[in-house]
Amino acid sequence: MAMDREISEKRKRQCLKWVEISKGIVRQAFERFKPEELGITWTGGKDSTLTLWIIRQVCEEKKLPLPKTMIIGEGDEFLEIEEFVERIKKEWNVPLEVCRNEDVLKAAHYKLNAAVKVRDLNDRNRAELERIGFDEEEFPFEAESYVGNHLMKTVVFNEFLERNKIKGIFQGLRWDEHPARFNDEYFEYKEGGYLMPEHTRIRPILHFTEKDLWDTYAAFKIPYCSLYEKGYRSLGAKTTSLISMEGVPAWEQDLENTEERAGRRQDKEKAMERMRKLGYM
Amino acid sequence: MSEIVGPGCQRGIPGNLEMPLAVERLPNGNTLIADAGDEAGFGSEIIEVNSVGSIVWNYNEGLRFAHSGRRLKNGNTLITDTTNNRLIEVHPDKRIVMNSDEWGRGTGHLSDGSHLHYPNEAFELGDGTFLVTDRNNDRCIQVDRNGKVIWSFEKELHHPHHANVLPNGNILIADSDGNRILEVNRKKEIIWSYGDGSKETLWWPRGALRMRNGNTVITDSKNHRILEVTREGKRVWTFQTDHVDKFYITSVTEQGTFLIASTDGHHQVIEVDRTGNIVWLFRNYRRPAPIYARLTNGFFKEVGEDGIPRHWVLATRLSEGGGRLIWDYENKPYPCPGLDYDRPGGLFLQQNIAVKAGETYRVGAEIKTIEVQGVACLHIDFYDALGGSLYRDITEMPSGEYFTGTNDWSHDLFEVKVPQQATFAQIRLAINHSGKVFIRNLMMNPM
């Protein structure tokens, strides 16, 4: 679906400017890397879909096919996201690879919270566990745990880069989504290391605020996943994503004064007041 | 396997200046400094250093988080021994000649039936009595050497840290958690104030002094600056550094320079002139806790002889004499540690880790809480090359979830980007107010 919200001409011009800045970053990426050395990370969420939409425009202008696109299958996806991804894949002709850590899924018998025995995993996954300092015999299969997150997302990401010899990978991160992102750069070179291929992370939409992003969706009728209309502001795994405001579309919520990744952290402000009582630090 | 990249030193070495809080220039030209000690509660002392930085006198017997040492007219030194909730007067030969613990027939009670609670500052008045900032009782009192309360002001105060008398007899009070400076007269009327309560004007001001020209010098601690304001509230001079340095107390010397104690920000005392030049500096700091190459014993399997997880530090400096490390022995496959806390202040279990500036790390653990009335969380503090935290306030530090109340084991996962000025990280399990928090399976790796 696309939004039929009215955006003023002035605001539309602002959004276009942000889009043009992003396209500039994408063009630079195509100058630095061969098309086959580039990859895209996509989740079906608002940030990576906007990024994909922008890359697609640059590809059309350069008459190039879209770079290889990865989507991580964690085994805990929303049906709405799956349907949206399937539709856009067809409409935009996305060369999509669904990437999952099949070895872990198998060891967990494809069941959430199942105990995964480390000895049931393959060499690569065992080496990955050693690398991050995990030396237990088992762990529960949960995408949002440290171990789950690493095996289901980071390892799968690194393997995608390796398998496709990707040197530059597009990511849909934004500065305002999380304090840890404030100083992110459009191009970040990552040195290779043990189990980690050398690559450059390219983040064309860093400068979009959450509000800019939704206004851009409305201004250019960009399709998005229906869950955002139900009140989700940030989508992750099904069991850990929470609706911020029931029935209130993401773009109608108070984007500037509340946390994008709310849910569990909603009462952080109150908690901060309690924390501040410590004084000395 | 542990790999140390920055070794620590022995704790409590006399003269190692971990956290200078109060400072004054003595008539003989020496400088008297109160050192509150290290994060584990060791090394609190009063030191007197001469102009070339040699330590000519010190007192460190039994002090816990001492906030001030003031030289009296009789040559003795008055010390607020903060965590011990007492005021002592020490002779140059280190004999205690007055101890507030002996007031009230050995109960430590003052004549009004109260007890000193976290006293921060004490000054001698002209008549030989003392003006004490009794922080956790939210008051400022005048007491004699026998604990008789002669005057007291508690109206509207929120954790005052510093009070001194003006030539006209009025009292100038730094009401730290109220973000204000107050001048009150003997009739307990507020006749002047600075700060509207907002952090922008004053954030946790730790001290204020009236200068000869009638202006007031304020140590605006969490804004890491020193301000001079006129009677009318106009700011006429500011000393501010571009790094975070939580200045604690400023005093004005006979020469018109400012002596500033910079806490565990940069572990030093600096003297600056009107143009902001540092004209004298005393720094004698070595970090007691080592810096590990990577997170070490994050699964808490190894336990030290002291019952604390090996390679971890139980930071009790701010725990106001309470709190302890506990173990959940029911936890499988092996026990996991926790913090049990019961009062104002806070308790931390922490470790220093080498990090690369600009790198993003993923940090995660499982956390369980029981009846936490304040907040429990896992957070990361970053330190600059002089060993000072890069954050003005604990709430600015990157953290996982803030837990309150009772929560069963839950995953806490967050990302941190290492600031450019950072030289190492300190990862902490923190709790304040009261309750219990447990931790297991802690990991931290670059992304």
CATH number of B431's domain: 2.60.120.260
B102 and B188 co-located in one domain: yes
Task: Name the pLDDT band for A112 (thresholds 50, 70, 90).
Answer: confident
Task: Name the pLDDT band for A265 (thresholds 50, 70, 90).
Answer: very low
Residue A266 reports pLDDT greater than 50: no
Q: Residues A40, A55: contact at Cβ < 8 Å?
A: yes
B150 and B18 co-located in one domain: yes
Total structural domains within chain B: 2
Contacts of A137 in chain B (CB under 8 A): 333
Q: Which residues of B345-382 are buried (b: 16+ CB within 10 A; e: fewer)?
A: bbbbbbbbbebeeeebbbbbbbbbbbebebbbbbbbbb
Which of B345, B417, B443 has its CB closest to that of A278?
Answer: B345
B37-B40-B44 Cα angle (round to 5): 20
Q: Give pTM, 2 decimals.
A: 0.89
B3 is a domain residue = no
Residue A191 contacts B, CB cutoff 8 Å? no
- Cβ–Cβ below 8 Å for A274 and B404: yes
> Residue B343: how many CA atoms within 13 Å on its side-chain side?
13
Question: How do residues B416-438 score in pLDDT, each as one tens digit?
Answer: 999 999 999 999 999 999 999 99
Domain A9-112+149-276 classification at class level: alpha beta
pLDDT, mean over chain A: 89
Domain spans in chain A, listed from the N-terminal domain onward: 9-112+149-276
- Cβ–Cβ below 8 Å for B364 and A133: no
For position B93, what pLDDT does the model report? Answer: 97
For position A268, what pLDDT does the model report? Answer: 62
Residue A248 reports pLDDT greater than 90: no
Distance CA B2, CA A279 (A): 33
B295 and B149 co-located in one domain: no
Question: How do residues A153-192 score in pLDDT, each as one tens digit?
Answer: 889 999 999 999 999 999 999 998 877 777 789 999 998 8
B272 and B310 co-located in one domain: no
Residue B347 reports pLDDT greater than 80: yes
Task: Name the pLDDT band for A91 (thresholds 50, 70, 90).
Answer: very high
Q: Name the residue of chain B whose CA is nearest to A158's CA.
A: B447
B62 and B179 co-located in one domain: yes
Distance CA A24, CA A31 (A): 11
> Residue B140: how many CA atoms within 13 Å on its side-chain side?
29
B263 and B308 co-located in one domain: no
**Among candidate residues B239, B263, B283, the one where a domain is terminated:** B283
Mark which residues 406-425 of B lie under 8 Å from A by CB.
411, 413-417, 419
Residue A263 reports pLDDT greater than 70: no
- Cβ–Cβ below 8 Å for B413 and A145: yes
Distance CA B179, CA B351 (A): 32
Q: Give the DSSP H/E element, type plus range, for residue A15.
A: helix A9-32
Contacts of B415 in chain A (CB under 8 A): 178, 180
The mean pLDDT of B36-42, rounded to a whole number, is 96
B142 and B164 co-located in one domain: yes
Asked whether the bond before B333 is cis by omega within 30 degrees of 0, the reply is: yes
Residue A271 contacts B, CB cutoff 8 Å? yes
For position A240, what pLDDT does the model report? Answer: 66
Q: Name the residue of chain B whose CA is nearest to A182's CA.
A: B417
Residue A82 reports pLDDT greater than 50: yes
CATH of the domain at B40: 2.120.10.30
B355 and B428 co-located in one domain: yes
Distance CA B79, CA B86 (A): 8
Find the domain containing B358 and state its range. Answer: 291-446
DSSP assignment of B208-233: EEE-TTS-EEEEEGGGTEEEEE-TT-
B105 and B228 co-located in one domain: yes
Query: Is this complex's ipTM strictly greater than 0.85?
Result: no
Which of B159, B298, B419 has its CB closest to that of A133?
Answer: B298
**Among candidate residues B258, B283, B308, the one where a domain is terminated:** B283
With tokens 């872990």, the residue in question is A104
Question: How do residues A5-27 score in pLDDT, each as one tens digit?
Answer: 888 999 999 999 999 999 999 99
Alpha helices, H only, B70-192: 103-106
**Among candidate residues B253, B283, B313, the one where a domain is terminated:** B283
Residue A1 reports pLDDT greater than 70: no
Question: How do residues B252-310 score in pLDDT, each as one tens digit?
Answer: 999 999 999 998 889 999 999 999 999 999 999 999 999 999 999 999 999 999 999 99
pLDDT, mean over chain B: 95
Mark which residues 135-164 of A lie under 8 Å from B by CB.
135-137, 142, 144-147, 149-150, 154
